[in-house]
C-alpha cells in the first residue's frame, strides 16, 4: 500500500493512440510514436530554418 509505488507504475505506461488504451512503454507502438514525434520536430525545425533564410 504505497502511493509512491502506484505513481511509479503509472509513469511506465503511456496512452497508445493506435490501440486506444494504455500500455507499458515496452509496447512497440511507443517506440514508433517517439520516432514519429522526433521526425515531426525535425521537419518543423527544417521548415523554420528555411523560412528564416528567405
The residues of the shown chain that bind Zn ion, judged by CB under 5 A, are 16, 18-19, 29
SS3 content of the chain, % helix, strand, coil (to 5): 65, 15, 20
CB of 21 to Zn ion, least distance (A): 8
- The secondary structure of residue 28, as a DSSP letter, is H
- What 3-state class would DSSP assign to 23? strand
CB of 29 to Zn ion, least distance (A): 3
CB of 3 to Zn ion, least distance (A): 28
**Cβ closest to Zn ion, residue 20 vs residue 52:** 20
Amino acid at each position: 500500500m504505497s502511493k509512491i509505488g502506484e505513481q511509479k507504475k503509472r509513469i511506465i505506461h503511456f496512452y497508445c493512440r493506435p490501440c486506444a488504451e494504455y500500455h507499458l512503454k515496452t509496447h512497440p507502438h511507443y517506440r514508433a510514436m517517439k520516432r514519429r514525434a522526433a521526425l515531426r520536430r525535425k521537419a518543423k525545425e527544417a521548415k523554420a530554418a528555411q523560412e528564416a533564410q528567405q
